[in-house]
Structure 1
Amino acid sequence: MPVYGLSAIIALVLIFSVVRAGSTRHAASPISWGPCDPSVVNDKSLSCGYFDVPLDYQDPSVGNARLAVGKINATGERRGTVFFNPGGPGESGIAILDQNVDLLLEVTGGVYDVVSWDPRGVGFLTTPGEVLCFDSLAEYTAFFNGTIELRGIEELGSFDNPADVDALLAQAETMQQKYEEVGQRCLQSPSGKYLKYIGTAATVRDMVAMADALEGPDTPINYFGVSYGTLIGSWFVNMFPERIGRVIIDGVLDPVIFADYEISTHFLHYLVSVDTIYKALVTGCALAGPAGCAAASEGDGPLDVDAKIQALLKTAYNAAHVNPSAPLTSGQIRTDLFFDIYSPTNWSALMNEGYLAAVQIINSEAQGNGSLQERSIDLPSSRGFVKRVSNDSPSYSPPAIWCADNVDLQGTTMADVFRSIIAGTRNISHIFGAGWYTQFYLCSFWPVRSVERYQGPFEKTLANKIIIGSNTYDPITTLAGAQRLAGLLGDDAMLVQLNGFGHTAIVGEPSTCIRNIYSAYMTNGTLPANNTVCEVDEDFGVFAGVTTAEILAHLSNVNV
């Protein structure tokens, strides 16, 4: 799941269990800093370089990886380095560093160099880099033509219609064969020989090796990670508890669930807040009225706005059943909308621009207008990755990382995955349960696991206290996951909560309170009281004239 995006999701306790473990000591020269690649970095104040690490820390004879590394230089008297990971997995740390210079300097007080990197399997500067398993988008599209991979899952009413259940289960064998073949394609790709060396444990050890080179062996390591970066963080603080400096992890993927369960069949457990966030979206739209939200008419309440969205989904659903080539399906809308609610700063554009575009396309579908075949809806999205090679096929870096870290293959079938989606749609998220989130559902058929995985425990005694941040309502990294990790770490973790919506407390919605807490901790070591609750800034409008506080005040009266 990206900083805004997807970030992503996961974990449970066992004992310290590693497929392969050992020292991270890595003799290396400090990074030679120089200008950054202009195709990735626009801010010329950033410095970039490369850092070589062993592909396998237990078997140096395998060879080396080469990490692309970027740095924001401290603006004040330098006190050391803070390592930053923006989530994903699959996001370029260097690109996100470039896009968030001011925010990162604010959080760190300007007294640290902020270093990020493109982890193994990410981007085209690091080796091993981006995982591409098809030669082109056209090849990928032809391979999955006519499947839910491209069209999404068609259903209405929480799979209340048995015909929708039957239609989904009828695709299980085909989709399983497709995903098994994708796994083999990835193994046979240029990235194939590196897949077992990609994963979170390796990323943790790479960060420790960089810290050794930049700051010296055995020095405390400072880290700021969001979204998937919190999985890196929770593994780091438990793999190297004696090296913990100042650490903030924000938007926590429950590491306990991820350690014990297949993500393919348990992904929807991370969606426990997402229907509430959808209610917030339609509530804010109704409060804004037609002047601030195109989906609202005069006098509409949240249920009226919801009814329009549900009618839109039904029209798309009916049109797709009549015309299998319809350009926009209810499944596609549902999946896109899930990612688009990550950031309330985009909700106004979503409901004023994306909604109207969807209405136009879907109404044309319903009227049998074939002229829209090449049109697509451009909803504000948190997803995306800058590519600079000719191969325009989708990246398989996210599943390569998720799946390499996940539990061993369990013999799960695609029918099992589909049944978990049906159950989750009925019991966890009526609105978004039937989205098709490819990077998670591939893992039961991914042929590779990393040479090292950390599976707990997650309750080590740390050298220094850390901060764990969470939104009250995060679509993918739940408050419950943050509370669980904080509970396991006990007095070594201070939980800070933003009473708002969106993915992560630092970027979901603006909060001076959150930023001040993070900055005071990083610069002065000042710890907040455990379970501190911050509010969203009052001058931020989710819609024109509508604040988060107003939406929260009306939320309990909405039942969609």
Structure 2
Amino acid sequence: MAYYSFAPILLLAFASTTPYTAASVRSGSQIQWGACDPSVVNDTSLSCGFLEVPLDYQDPLVGRARLAIIKANATGERRGSVFFNPGGPGNTGIQVVNDNKEELLEVTGGVYDIVSWDPRGVGNRTSPGEVFCFDSLAEYSTFFNGTIELTGIEETGNFTDPADVQVLLEQAPIMQEKYEEVGQKCLHSSSGKFLKYIGTAATVCDMVSIANVLDGPEAPINYLGRSYGTLIGSWFVNMFPERVGRVILDGVFDPIAFATQEPGSTFSGQRVSADTIYKALLTGCALTGPSGCAAASEGDGPLDIDAEVQALLKTAYDATKDNSSVPMTPGDIRLALWGEMYFPVDWSSFVNEEYPQIVQIVDGEAPANKSRAFRKRSNNLNPLHRRKALVKRSSESNDSPSYTTSAIYCADSIDPQGTTMEDVFKGIISATRNVSHMFGSLWPFPVYCSFWPVRSVERYQGPFNKKLANKILIASNLLDPITPLPAAETLAGLLGQDAVLVRQNSFGHTTVSAPSACMNEIFIAYMTNGTLTANGTVCEVDADYEIFAGMNTADILANMPSTDI
């Protein structure tokens, strides 16, 4: 039996807890499968449908939510369903299944239907849908004009310059007022009345509702979650331990950190591996040399290439100080590099195509939209699109940035702790000095929940060590930029004998960032016949997978310098 904490909107302390059982999760409707919307799903083998569920599982009189669901049929003899969440929070399960059907069927053995859905707050098919707090991108841009929300934070030398610290801290009262006002805009937007019904606990209950309809209210629930989807998974297995079937959690969010801290406080700890992954990029570039990496000169080592990157950041910093409307700020460059930490498969194209263009833009030799390849990536660099890059989509009717990520993180957050924006900025300064020199100062990361006025009516805060009906599989890369290995070790330790942890000797976000036949075989054996490998098993990336010409993951890991970047 699981326990929830209930807090009505704006309440600053949890109300009483009450027992809650899986049997209480009833949708009261069925799914009518049909063809998917071809503007979103181009694979005609996939089926789509809707399921109505309670907005509030403890108060069915509040009203109904509607979940948009997608299904890929099993390729072999069907044994049930595997429910899948791709992460975010805010990523659309419908789009990801459309784009990755074959991979999902492969790693689950082809004997389950793959079922995913757009959770509450995601997209325009699920209701409540995407959370918008501004009516247009123009309104958003005007609101934040002249602030670090659009330019990023300017700093050099790992925030060791007292002048940089002073400039940032002087902006704290302005940015706190802005964030508090945004919270009120969200509360009074068309999404506002639904904000207290968005969050991970509701998503878990929605998944149980879907499972009850598809596989029966007593059937084990099988689940594959990646990134934020692992938080859904860790809540699920502890909220409904008796329903746990075969569960894979890949790229783990630390459930204890998210249960006990405001989300903004967790990001420094989540970046503990980020600079090492940046060093891996530099190492691969140096190993392949200028013929395979345009960022390298003949004879360069990783530290030489880093020195060039730091010089570029300093040039952009100096230019921004002289003219705040420069086409590329140091914050833009850091944001571009940060995106590369997730997917090493893109490193070669980045250093050979986009990075040289960034250099030309900073040096004033090219406009920011010089080529189609760069324009595609520049959505992540253009200040007006910065938040869009971080918190996902716009809709056809509203081109302003989505606040779904904020809505979900903050719905789940502990109650406001009196954190000020000055506290936030001091945390950023500390993280830049002590955790991630390259990425500690990224801004915005819009999950500073002291300034968000709503918490969900249902939040799960543990325990996270329940006895499970079946053992689960936890997977992690050695080096992950946002869900580091220690988080996976924490969850595995909490679950003890009910979890097996496997590690992939690679870098990037989740184990699917690099191909590994070893990891695939472990997943397939577990999903098809329940066989679990030994706890602590280490998988290597396939040797024929080259990140740079002639250089694979093992080559890079073996040659990384011991010196800190």
TM bracket (short chain): over 0.9
How many percent of aligned residue pairs carry the same amino acid?
A: 63
Match of 1:420 in 2: 427
Report Cα offsets for 1:287-332 as digits up to 9, x if no partner. 0101111100111100111011111111100000000101110012
Q: 3-state SS of the aligned residue for 1:100? A: helix
Equivalent residue runs for 1:105-116 within 5 Å: 105-116=105-116
Residue 468 (structure 2) pairs with residue 455 (structure 1): no
Match of 1:438 in 2: 445
Report Cα offsets for 1:66-107 as digits up to 9, x if no partner. 000000011111110000000001111000010101100101
Asked whether the 8 Å contact 1:335–1:437 carries over to 2, the reply is no
Shift of 1:58: 0.5
Residue 523 (structure 2) pairs with residue 518 (structure 1): yes
Q: 3-state SS of the aligned residue for 1:117? A: strand
CA distance in 1, matches of 2:409, 2:557: 34
TM-score by length of 2: 0.93
Asked whether the 8 Å contact 2:259–2:462 carries over to 1, the reply is yes
Match of 2:69 in 1: 69
Shift of 1:205: 0.4
CA distance in 2, matches of 1:193, 1:548: 48
Match of 1:545 in 2: 550
Which has the larger displacement, 306-315 or 430-439?
430-439
Q: 1:234 to 1:524 in 2, by over 3 A?
A: same
1:18 alignment partner AA: S
Match of 2:405 in 1: 398
CA distance in 2, matches of 1:383, 1:289: 32
Shift of 1:336: 2.8
1:478 alignment partner AA: P
Q: 1:422 to 1:27 in 2, by over 3 A?
A: closer
Equivalent residue runs for 1:333-482 within 5 Å: 333-364=333-364, 378-379=376-377, 385=392, 387-440=394-447, 442-482=448-488
Asked whether the 8 Å contact 1:266–1:420 carries over to 2, the reply is no
CA distance in 2, matches of 1:377, 1:145: 23
1:516 alignment partner AA: E
Match of 2:12 in 1: none
CA distance in 2, matches of 1:348, 1:372: 20
Match of 1:18 in 2: 5
Q: 1:473 to 1:27 in 2, by over 3 A?
A: closer
Match of 1:9 in 2: none
Match of 1:235 in 2: 235
CA distance in 2, matches of 1:534, 1:150: 41
1:499 alignment partner AA: N
Asked whether the 8 Å contact 2:393–2:402 carries over to 1, the reply is no
Asked whether the 8 Å contact 2:34–2:47 carries over to 1, the reply is yes
Asked whether the 8 Å contact 1:197–1:451 carries over to 2, the reply is yes
In structure 2, which of residues 499, 504, 510 is the aligned counterpart of residue 498 of structure 1? 504
Asked whether the 8 Å contact 1:134–1:393 carries over to 2, the reply is yes
Equivalent residue runs for 1:152-167 within 5 Å: 152-167=152-167
Q: 3-state SS of the aligned residue for 2:276? A: helix
Match of 2:301 in 1: 301
Report Cα offsets for 1:40-69 as digits up to 9, x if no partner. 211110000000000000000100000000
Match of 1:534 in 2: 539
Asked whether the 8 Å contact 1:253–1:482 carries over to 2, the reply is yes
Report Cα offsets for 1:252-277 as digits up to 9, x if no partner. 00000111111223321111111110
Equivalent residue runs for 1:89-108 within 5 Å: 89-108=89-108
1:498 alignment partner AA: Q
1:180 alignment partner AA: E
Q: 3-state SS of the aligned residue for 1:222? A: strand
2:484 alignment partner AA: T
CA distance in 2, matches of 1:544, 1:185: 50
Q: 1:342 to 1:390 in 2, by over 3 A?
A: same
2:463 alignment partner AA: P
Which has the larger displacement, 329-338 or 397-406?
329-338
Which has the larger displacement, 222-231 or 326-335?
326-335
Shift of 1:390: 2.5
TM-score by length of 1: 0.94
CA distance in 2, matches of 1:461, 1:513: 28
Residue 36 (structure 2) pairs with residue 30 (structure 1): no
Asked whether the 8 Å contact 2:391–2:405 carries over to 1, the reply is no
Asked whether the 8 Å contact 1:26–1:209 carries over to 2, the reply is yes
Match of 2:321 in 1: 321
CA distance in 2, matches of 1:337, 1:194: 36
Q: 3-state SS of the aligned residue for 1:494? A: strand
Shift of 1:204: 0.2
Asked whether the 8 Å contact 1:279–1:558 carries over to 2, the reply is no
Equivalent residue runs for 1:198-209 within 5 Å: 198-209=198-209
Report Cα offsets for 1:513-546 as digits up to 9, x if no partner. 1111111111111111101100001010111111
Asked whether the 8 Å contact 1:227–1:504 carries over to 2, the reply is yes
Q: RMSD over aligned Cα, in angstroms?
A: 1.8
Match of 2:79 in 1: 79
CA distance in 2, matches of 1:16, 1:46: 36
CA distance in 2, matches of 1:430, 1:335: 13
List alignment gaps of at least 5 residues for structure 2. Answer: 7-16, 381-388
Match of 1:10 in 2: none
Aligned length: 540
CA distance in 1, matches of 2:25, 2:268: 38
Report Cα offsets for 1:369-423 as digits up to 9, x if no partner. 8x65999765497968565512111110011001110111111110000000001
Q: 3-state SS of the aligned residue for 2:159? A: coil
CA distance in 2, matches of 1:67, 1:373: 39
Shift of 1:559: 3.2
1:421 alignment partner AA: I
Q: 1:383 to 1:174 in 2, by over 3 A?
A: closer
Equivalent residue runs for 1:96-245 within 5 Å: 96-245=96-245
Q: Which runs of at least 4 in structure 1 moved beyond 3 Å after TM superposition? A: 371-388, 556-559
